[in-house]
Each structure stands twice: as C-alpha cells, then as structure tokens.
Chains A and B, each alone.
Chain A
Amino acid sequence: MKHIPVTALVLGLMVATSDAGSKFNYPVVIGATSATGSMADARSSALATMNIGCHTRYGANTHVAACSAGDGQGLVASCFTTDPVLVDQARALGDDSRVTFWWDATGTCTQIQVLKFSSAAPKVP
C-alpha cells in the first residue's frame, strides 16, 4: 500500500516528461493584408472550412505559386506570385509548417514566411 503513491508519482513524472516541450497551436487567422496558420492545426480544426497552404505550378519558363487560406468562419484570402524567391518559399512548406503570407491590392504575394519549428503540431489524419 505504501508503494502506491510512489508508483503514481513515477507514472505522473513519465507522463509529464513525455508531454514536455513547447507546443503552440496556429489556427488560421486572416487579416486585412495577411493570413497565417499551420497546416496541421487547420486540418484538425473543428471548423470544417478552415484551410491554409500554397500551391506551385510550372510551365514553359514560368514558375507560379498561389497561397490560400480560409479561417472557417467565412473569411478567405489568397495571393499569387511569379517571383522565383517566393515560389521557392512556397515550395519549402512542409506538412507541419506554419505559413504566413502577405498580399497587395493586386492579389500579388509580397512575402511568404514559412515556420518549421518543434512547437508546431504534426499533421494527423
């Protein structure tokens, strides 16, 4: 009987240890000229239409990237770019990445930021 509290303490420590490390959620948030969010958090959101990501497309001498986001509550934002540097940024997006993109009045992406960090949640089915 004496051993029960010790066992419970050890188990509790193991659980705490396995759950340690910074963890942040990055749901999709859309502002006036930018949108941000992680692909994993968008996918696991309770809001059915939350989504975010980028798409790249190649043709003869042409590279195009398009980023798009929906916050699940009716707001949608997107932008295009043919800037090779930004197209490469879009390609750098991974399953667990958080992406933030900014656009101008013509719908052109002005910046694409990709965060690959341990605190971002992995994408689950």
Chain B
Amino acid sequence: MRRLAIAAAILAACGLGFGLAQIVPSAAPPVSATTTVVERAEGRGLDELGLRALIRAAIRDELGAGIANRAADPPPSDTPAEPPAPSVEQVQQRQTADQIVASALASGVWREADRDAIQRLDQLAPLDWVEALRPLVIATNARRVKVEVSGPLFL
C-alpha cells in the first residue's frame, strides 16, 4: 500500500513538474524539479498532509525559479531589429531606379527599355524595389502613364 502511495505521489509530482515547466519559463530543465520532489517523497511517510506539503514545495521551487529567470531576462524591446545597412551598390541602384521611374513619369511613357533597366538592378533590396516602383504603379493605376510594354509592367 505504501509503495502504491509513493508511486502515485511520484507520478503526481512528475505531472506537476512537467505542467509547471510548460507554464513558467525556466532555465533549468524540468527534470531537476522533479528529482527534488522524488527525493523528498522517498524520505517521508506519505499521507494526505505529506502529499500536500510536497506539492506546495514543488510549486514554491518552480515559482521561485521562474521569478529568478524573469529577473535575469533582458527587458523586452518594443523596437524591431534594425535591417542591415544597405551597401554602396544598393544605394546607387536605388538612386538609379528612382531616376528611371522619375524620367518615365516626366515623359508620361513607360517603355520596355525602362523595364529592362530596372531588371538589371539586381542588387536592389526588395523594399527598395517596391518603393522605387511605387510612383510608377500609382501613376499607371490612375492611367496617367502610357504603358508601352509587352508583358508584365516591371518584371
């Protein structure tokens, strides 16, 4: 009977330790907390009061570990990681793209030569590509620019 009670207590403690490990962030693996509980279970006679004491101790251990870990964590940052600085070539290509688009808008025509020139700018970062072409997209959607391109507008 006593063995059965010890086994039940161990199982309960394992479950509790695992559950708390999922809820409370902890640098220590859940095994260590479980081990503590198991050692205590073996050292005592188990009755209802003993089991409650074990559970209380396990909760205290886990909460203590969680608080300690939170204190060690760096404060959360609201600002996203900064994108890498553009290379000189990327900056130059963005300027070239802006000039191509500005020239087309001034002339009122988007030609295949313009599209081909944009395609050759293979170092343009995706967001630079979008922002360089955006004025052209706005103008063509509003039908302010004549498109003399067979196929996609800018691909």
Contacts and interface: CB of A to CB of B under 8 A. Distances in A.
Interface of A: 48-49, 51, 53, 55, 57-64, 66, 68, 70, 74-80, 82, 103, 105-107
B137 A78 contact: yes
23 contacts: A49-B150, A57-B126, A58-B126, A59-B127, A60-B83, A60-B84, A62-B126, A64-B127, A64-B129, A66-B133, A68-B152, A68-B154, A70-B147, A70-B152, A77-B141, A78-B153, A78-B154, A80-B134, A80-B137, A82-B127, A82-B130, A105-B138, A106-B138
A78 B151 CA distance: 12
Interface residues of B, number: 24
B140 A78 contact: yes
Nearest to A55: B155
B120 to A, nearest CB: 16
Interface of B: 81, 83-84, 125-127, 129-130, 133-134, 137-138, 140-141, 143, 146-147, 149-155
A64 B126 contact: yes
Contacts of A74: 146-147
Contacts of B149: 49, 70, 76
A64 B149 CA distance: 22
B153 A76 contact: yes
A81 B152 CA distance: 17
Nearest to B131: A80
Contacts of A79: 137, 141
A113 to B, nearest CB: 18
Nearest to B130: A80
Contacts of A62: 83, 125-127
A105 B134 CA distance: 11
A66 B150 CA distance: 17
Given A78-B137, A82-B130, A107-B134, A61 B153 contact: no
Given A68-B155, A107-B141, 15 more contacts: A49-B151, A51-B152, A59-B125, A62-B83, A62-B125, A64-B129, A68-B154, A70-B147, A74-B146, A75-B143, A76-B149, A77-B140, A78-B153, A79-B137, A106-B138
